[in-house]
Structure 1
Amino acid sequence: MLTIMLGIPKSEWPTIARLASTIGLALGVTLKQDLHKVEEALAELYEYAEELIKDRQANPGEDFVSRLVLASRDGDSLSDAELRNALVLLIFGGMDTTRNQLGLAMQSFMRNPDQWELLAERPELGSKAVEEVMRINPTVTWVTREAVEDFSYEGLDVPKGTTVHLFTQSAGTDPRAFPEPEMNLLGEHAPHHGFGGGVHHCLGHFVARSDMSEALPLLARRLRNPQINGADEWMPDSGNTGPIRLPISFTKGE
């Protein structure tokens, strides 16, 4: 899906998937040992983005990158550096975190087969399915901030400069905010914080939401009665998480 949006050959997906997955290690707890791999992948992705921008400057098309390039050429929005950074973030977020979230969605729906059947019958619930999965089983398990001034919250003193982790995963099922925290595509719940908030709200949330709201109903119709079939393997349950390997058996649907 991302290759279509970027206007590049579908055969390029293994390259951007590899780079995005490696950069995603920066959000985990093993960053110190993985730092050199992250930096190498980031440098390669910057080069990839620069070549893509140069191509669209010479040969603009109807894709999303061309729209960004043309807007910047007209002085409408982004500097060269901002354009490159935006494209790198789009490739990373649109590939790695979205793919992880789809894997977690399958895990969640296999635990709630009645909701999977409901989604298959009512594909218009695709957008609601995305929000429910991100509420109960998000790929980004926490968001991080730095205190810019001293403050106190419910008796906890937080000095300026303190790194604060906000645990979005547990917040999405906290019974004080969600009296009925179980997945329910027909229920009404308070907004989740899987995409962060404020000035650091995820810029790519529209891309991720659009991708998943189309993918999940389609998968629900085609993969009936999905079940784990074999040994699954997962990233650490912290930072940016998701399946590395998730073999699934199913009955063929539509």
Structure 2
Amino acid sequence: MSDTLPFLDLSDPALSTRGPEVVAARDANWCARTPYGLAVLRWREVGLILRDRRFRQGSHAWPDTVGISGPFAEFWKASVIGQEGETHARMRALAVPALSEDYVLGLVPTFDAIAAELCAELRRTDRCEFQSAFATPFAGQAIAALLGLDRARWPDVAHDATELGHAMSIRAPSFEDRTNAACTRLFALADTLVARVRRGEDSKSYVARLVARFDETGDCSHDELLNVIVISIFGGVDTTRALLGLGLSLFIEHPEQWQIMRRDPDLVPAAIDEIIRARPTTTWATREATEDVELSGIRVEKGTILHLLVHASARDPAICDDPRFDITKPRKRHFGFGGGAHHCIGHFVARTDLAAAFRALSATLAKVDHDGPPEWLPDSGNTGAVSLPIRYELAAQAPEGARKG
């Protein structure tokens, strides 16, 4: 690895993966040195690495990288995200059929109903703290629906999933006790959900579908089944909650784009992808070299961890001639959901529930603005809003018969 490469201190909470230091490093080379290995900054190399079998998923090393241990670290290393080869294939084959497109699309009326109820609450006032008023309850109730839980149980599930999210922050050690306790509770919940299916009390939920697949194949252990359920809860809540806040903040900064989406709800899917390009919640995907690799003039040694930066690659001038936030502009694919064998299992769920949320919000809020400074997690690792105070003008309410969902 060349010492002449630029250096980015990804361990610094003040550094943004969207900041000028990253842009300068990308101009200098396709990768940069960091305290965590290499940062990969250009679209071409990110795509090559994600498709190259000489690079394995590198996230298994994250607990050791940031210095955390206990139940969360054990769960993360054993998860479908942290595994490779046969184990990864078995766990993925358990989850992917259970999240088939037809099943997820069947949840759209429920996602629409959740969003509509929360928007009805927004109509009672002209300001709120968005994360607690909409983003977190929406994400929590959406995952409760997926699990077949009574939606009223969403606060505990959302709380524990949010606690796990702290383990993916560069400040993970300061949250270690909380993330370990939350992980233990979520495994207990997963075990309870499986037992409920076994008793014949649930035959339709995502968990029921997982159990049916588990029984059919006989490939996975009970612990692996529970691990798939917990990673689904974690990803389902954390991704949706964070992207709602990140997305709304982008629309506040670009009010003309909000109006464009309000006029044409068919642009909502494109808006979600543009949000991920412009303000990703998972700021990098991670890979590890399993052998020495020569790539674009750089020798990457076996064992090197590579962090594939989502924003830097999506806004690479080689494939993006206009870096402004624009939901109408055709773009190259982004890598916010990873790629290759480890492409995010829940990406279609995330796109589907986020679309329901943004359709409802854009039909409810005619104009929206900040109502005080937001508080953000560091803009490296996994990021999102801690608090997002907003004020807004309400749109006219459509007649009952004219409403969708």
TM-score of the aligned structures, taking structure 2 as reference length: 0.60
Structure 1 residue 206: deviation in Å?
1.0
Structure 1 residue 84: deviation in Å?
1.1
Greater RCO structure (CA 8 Å; 6+ sep): 2
Q: Is this contact kept in 1: 2:285–2:309, CA < 8 A? A: yes
Q: Aligned letter for 2:264?
A: R
Q: Aligned letter for 2:328?
A: L
Counterpart check, 1:24 vs 2:145: no
2:285 aligns to what? Answer: 143
Q: Percent identity?
A: 37
Runs of 4+ displaced beyond 6 Å: none
1:108-150 alpha-carbon deviations (Å, 9 max, x no partner): 1111111111111111211111111111111011111111111
Larger Rg: 2
Counterpart check, 1:134 vs 2:276: yes
Q: Unpaired runs of 5+ in structure 2? A: 1-141, 398-405
Aligned with residue 186 of structure 1, among 302, 325, 328: 328
2:307 aligns to what? Answer: 165
Summarize the alignment of residues 69-108 of structure 1 with structure 2, pairs less than 5 Å apart. Answer: 69-75=211-217, 78-108=220-250
1:110 aligns to what? Answer: 252
Q: Is this contact kept in 1: 2:170–2:381, CA < 8 A? A: yes
Q: Distance in 2 between matches of 1:56 and 1:231?
A: 45
Summarize the alignment of residues 33-72 of structure 1 with structure 2, pairs less than 5 Å apart. Answer: 33-58=174-199, 59-72=201-214
Q: Is this contact kept in 2: 1:57–1:70, CA < 8 A? A: no
Q: Is this contact kept in 2: 1:97–1:240, CA < 8 A? A: no
1:70-123 alpha-carbon deviations (Å, 9 max, x no partner): 232333775423321111111001101210011000011111111111111111
Structure 1 residue 204: deviation in Å?
0.9
Alignment RMSD: 1.5
Compare 140-149 and 28-37 and name the one that shifted more.
28-37
Compare 72-81 and 126-135 and name the one that shifted more.
72-81
Q: Aligned letter for 2:371?
A: N
Q: Aligned letter for 1:28?
A: S
Q: Is this contact kept in 2: 1:146–1:163, CA < 8 A? A: yes
Q: Unpaired runs of 5+ in structure 1? A: none
1:218 aligns to what? Answer: 360
